[in-house]
Amino acid sequence: MADVTQLNDQHSSDWILKVAELNSTRAIKPVDIINAISDLEIFEHIDKPYVTGKVVVTDGQRLYERFDFQGGETFTIQIQRDRNESIEPIKKTFIVDEVLNVARANETSQALVLHLTEDIAFKDVLQNVNRSYKGQPQYIIEKISEEYLDKEVINNSEDNVENSMSVIIPNLSPIEAMSWIKNRATTKDGYPFFLFSSFALNKLLFFDLGSILS
């Protein structure tokens, strides 16, 4: 559980953006935009196994016209906490699924606002789960996540799940299948479970409400 301690890290020191690249199947090579980013917002949601975000790019090189955004471009970032470089940097890959705004900043540049969705959400829509599973909910979720999405699942409920189950996944995407299993699971005290993603980890988290509150 050592990795999870980073989730509760509320230290006010700076973060250093070390890598920020846009890439596309139509591009010859990734475009480094690290010096063009003026704002980066990341959103975590307790009911979503992926994070979303928004980045504002000051475009002084007519990137918008040259890059030809059509949806599906990738945005890769690497962030380091400056107070402790011994901690492994946070690395995330997002899909640019929408250009939210293009505004003229001055005579020579414009500002792009790009909406980002973690790449796991796009891997998800390309696959279907249609098979049977038997066992504790957390282990079924772990199997689906690792097999279809190549994501490890951290759970804190080894001995606290009320119900084992036998299920046939009715042709759902991996995220839909995991959410379906999650919604059928409760702790021995009746608490529901949540399956979500954290910006600080490249893993999914399967935690019950009682543990989250405590």
What pLDDT, on the 0 to 100 scale, is given for residue 84? 64
Do the strands 90-104 and 110-118 form a parallel or antiparallel pair, or are they unpaired? antiparallel
CB atoms within 10 A of CB 114: 23
The sign of the dihedral angle between the CA atoms of 81, 85, 87, 92 is: positive
pLDDT in tens, 53-73: 999 998 877 778 777 788 788
Residue 12: pLDDT band with limits 50, 70, 90 = very low
The alpha carbons of the chain give a radius of gyration, in whole angstroms, of 20
> CA geometry: angle at 198 spanning 140 and 69, to 5°?
105
CA dihedral 181, 43, 124, 182 (to 10 degrees): 0
What pLDDT, on the 0 to 100 scale, is given for residue 203? 92
Q: Identify the residue with better confidence: 75 or 170.
A: 75
Residue the block writes with tokens 């988290």 = 205
Q: Identify the residue with better confidence: 22 or 24.
A: 22
What pLDDT, on the 0 to 100 scale, is given for residue 156? 77
Q: What is the percent of the chain with per-residue pLDDT over 90, rounded to a whole number? A: 43
How large is the average pLDDT for residues 4-13? 51
Confidence check: pLDDT of 194 > 90: yes
CB contact at 8 A, 142 and 72? no
- The 3 state secondary structure assigned to 135-183 is ECHHHHHHHHHHHHHCCCEEECCCCCECCCEEEECCCECHHHHHHHHHH
pLDDT in tens, 78-130: 988 766 667 788 899 999 998 888 887 677 778 889 999 999 999 998 899 99
